[in-house]
């Protein structure tokens, strides 16, 4: 069961509390999108789930195990794949090395997984020897998603995959996420401000404001007007 | 002409020693941002290794040097890892704190060496095959200097291959470039830090064995090299092996010619002046990595 159950979590940067009792469940095979304005705690929530930041209260369980105290690398090895915001690549490693270093993390590299991610993002094939720091925003984003997928995660967490990306690549990323979700039933948690993109992909949504979840529901019955008032800057 | 060549050889020789003492720092300082003031004492541990093998274990001079290279790598690497695990792992991203702590460790290690080996300097007996010299184009080249140059070439070659082709080398580069991304990708930054520190410290130990061949050794043998080692790493560009290599030989050459032109003290002053002027124009060092972003 690759469920993530977030139970009343609190988190803070030093003395500044950022998350106030967030509870959210992402069930196996589901794609849930978290939306909200800038600074409401969306990335902090993902950092708490992936282990980059500790909790000051509450608990997180994955696959039926409490992972609240596990390190970020231990959570990744349990099957939590994370694509952080922005240029999430190792800049001085080539595209190939970015994939290789993660693919061989447990010993023998998985050649099949490498071929699979290149099939998903064919543009990367001609960029294999280029340092990742020299890739464009769109290319780097594709590499970042490929790097997360190469580990065959049980759940894929994406933080604003459309940020600063040209429309054609957004479509490609949307198709890839959609295909993965539909074809393999991969569980996904998406943070996104591009509402139409998020609603097209997600099964369920949660809206955050001020470090709390203020609305949840099924995307099939979501009303755009309601989002406009909750997400508007 | 002969004098010019002679100084060129001296420059290469000084450069290779500088490179040897600095190359470990490219990992611990350049990549991990730890200002390791005890790097000199790791060199000292390496320098005492062939002495102990000769003095306490009665090994022949040649064997003590060759075996000493491996043992010094392991022992200095082990001390480095103990320091990293016990102290520095609690100070990630606090370089100034690492300076203070490692300065303390350096004093403790120096005093320990004085307690164990005594205050006076001691000599490591060079093997017979390192005694003597060869004359080429009128330049006298001592075998010890040629041995150190060959040792440097082997280490640099080996490290380049290791960092570029070995999985652990890739992991080290990944963790030093982005710890958080490495962690969420399933790499263990703490374990990789230990490997990086082991390698950097072990290389200081190897440098110590080489240093023991060119003069007497004592508790402060390493501290004499520490400033030069930091200078080379900074001029080369933090963590950039290619830059470190160029910087070591450039500073070695400059030092040799400046010393020949005036004297040792003025030569040193000229090197420092040149470094200060150089850093005004290239504060990131000789080799820096440019990305499309503004921050790197």
The per-residue DSSP string of B75-134 comes to HHHHHHHHHHHHTGGGGTT-HHHHHHHHHHHHHHHHHHHHHHH-SS-B-PPPPGGGSSEE
Name every residue whose Cβ is closer than 8 Å to that of residue A123 and which is 6 or more positions away in sequence. A139, A142
**CATH level 2 (architecture), domain B2-124+137-281:** Orthogonal Bundle (1.10)
Average pLDDT over chain A reads: 89
Question: B-chain residues within 8 Å CB-CB of A84?
Answer: 180-181, 184
Within an 8 Å CB–CB cutoff, is residue B178 touching chain A?
yes
In degrees rounded to 5, what are phi and psi of residue B288?
A: -130, 155
How many Å separate Cα A189 from the centre of its chain? Answer: 6
Whether the CB of B132 is below 8 Å from some CB of chain A: the reply is no
Residue B167 near chain A (CB below 8 Å): yes
Q: Which residue of B has its CA nearest to A153?
A: B185
B291 touches chain A (CB under 8 A): yes
Which tokens sit at A221?
A: 């019955």
On the question of pLDDT at A226 being above 80, the answer is no
Q: Give tens-digit pLDDT for A40-56.
A: 999 999 999 999 999 99
Contact of B19 with B248, CB cutoff 8 Å: yes
pLDDT for A179 equals 87
Look up the CATH number of domain A4-231.
Answer: 3.40.50.300
ipTM value for the complex: 0.92
Pairing of strands A31-36, A204-209: parallel
- Among the partner-chain residues B180, B293, B296, the one whose CB lies closest to the CB of A52 is B180
CB contact under 8 A, B186 and A77: yes
Nearest to B158 by CA among B194, B228, B206, B192: B206
How many Å lie between the alpha carbon of A131 and the closest alpha carbon of chain B? 9
Model confidence over A114-138: pLDDT tens digits?
Answer: 888 999 899 999 999 999 999 988 8
Tens of pLDDT, residues B149-203: 999 999 999 999 999 999 999 999 999 888 899 999 999 988 998 999 999 999 9
């Amino acid at each position: 069961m690759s469920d993530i159950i977030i139970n009343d979590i609190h988190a803070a940067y030093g003395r500044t509390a950022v998350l106030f009792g967030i509870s959210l469940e992402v069930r196996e095979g589901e794609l849930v999108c978290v939306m909200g304005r800038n600074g409401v705690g969306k990335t902090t929530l993902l950092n708490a789930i992936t282990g980059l930041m500790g909790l000051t209260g509450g608990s997180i369980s994955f696959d039926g195990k409490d992972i609240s105290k596990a390190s970020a690398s231990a959570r990744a090895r349990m099957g939590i794949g994370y694509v952080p915001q922005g240029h999430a690549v190792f800049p001085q490693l080539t595209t190939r090395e970015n994939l290789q270093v993660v693919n061989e993390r447990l010993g023998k590299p998985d050649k099949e997984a490498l071929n699979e991610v290149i099939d998903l993002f064919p543009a990367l094939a001609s960029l294999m020897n280029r340092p990742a720091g020299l890739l464009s925003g769109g290319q780097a984003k594709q590499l970042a998603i490929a790097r997360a997928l190469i580990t065959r995660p049980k759940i894929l967490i994406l933080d604003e995959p459309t940020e600063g990306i040209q429309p054609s690549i957004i479509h490609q990323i949307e198709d890839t996420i959609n295909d993965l979700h539909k074809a393999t039933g991969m569980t996904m948690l998406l943070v996104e401000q591009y509402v139409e993109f998020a609603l097209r992909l997600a099964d369920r949504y949660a809206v955050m404001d001020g470090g709390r979840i203020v609305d949840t529901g099924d995307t099939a019955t979501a009303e755009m007007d309601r989002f406009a008032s909750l997400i508007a800057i | 002409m002969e004098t010019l060549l002679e100084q060129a050889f001296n420059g290469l020789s000084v450069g290779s020693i500088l490179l040897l003492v600095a190359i470990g720092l490219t990992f611990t300082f350049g990549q991990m941002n730890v200002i390791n003031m005890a790097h000199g004492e790791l060199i000292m541990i390496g320098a005492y290794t062939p002495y102990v093998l000769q003095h306490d274990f009665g090994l022949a001079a040649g064997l003590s040097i060759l075996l000493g290279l491996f043992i010094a790598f392991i022992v200095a690497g082990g001390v480095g890892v103990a320091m990293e695990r016990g102290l520095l792992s609690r100070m990630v991203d606090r370089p100034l704190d690492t300076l203070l702590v490692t300065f303390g460790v350096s004093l403790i290690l120096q005093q320990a060496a004085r307690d164990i080996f005594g205050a006076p300097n001691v000599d490591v007996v060079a093997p017979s095959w390192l005694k003597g010299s060869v004359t080429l184009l009128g330049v006298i080249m001592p075998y010890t200097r040629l041995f150190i140059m060959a040792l440097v070439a082997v280490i640099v070659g080996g490290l380049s291959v290791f960092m570029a082709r070995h999985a652990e080398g890739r992991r080290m580069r990944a963790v030093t470039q982005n710890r958080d991304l490495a962690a969420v990708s399933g790499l263990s930054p703490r374990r990789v830090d230990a490997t990086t520190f082991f390698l950097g410290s072990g290389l200081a130990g190897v440098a110590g064995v080489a240093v023991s061949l060119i003069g007497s050794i004592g508790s402060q043998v390493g501290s004499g090299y520490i400033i030069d080692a930091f200078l080379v790493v900074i001029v080369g560009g933090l963590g950039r092996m290619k830059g470190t290599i160029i910087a070591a030989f450039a500073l070695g050459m400059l030092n040799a010619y400046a010393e020949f032109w005036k004297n040792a003290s003025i030569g040193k002053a000229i090197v420092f002046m040149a470094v200060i002027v150089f850093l005004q124009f290239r504060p990131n060092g000789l080799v820096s990595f440019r990305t499309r972003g503004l921050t790197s």
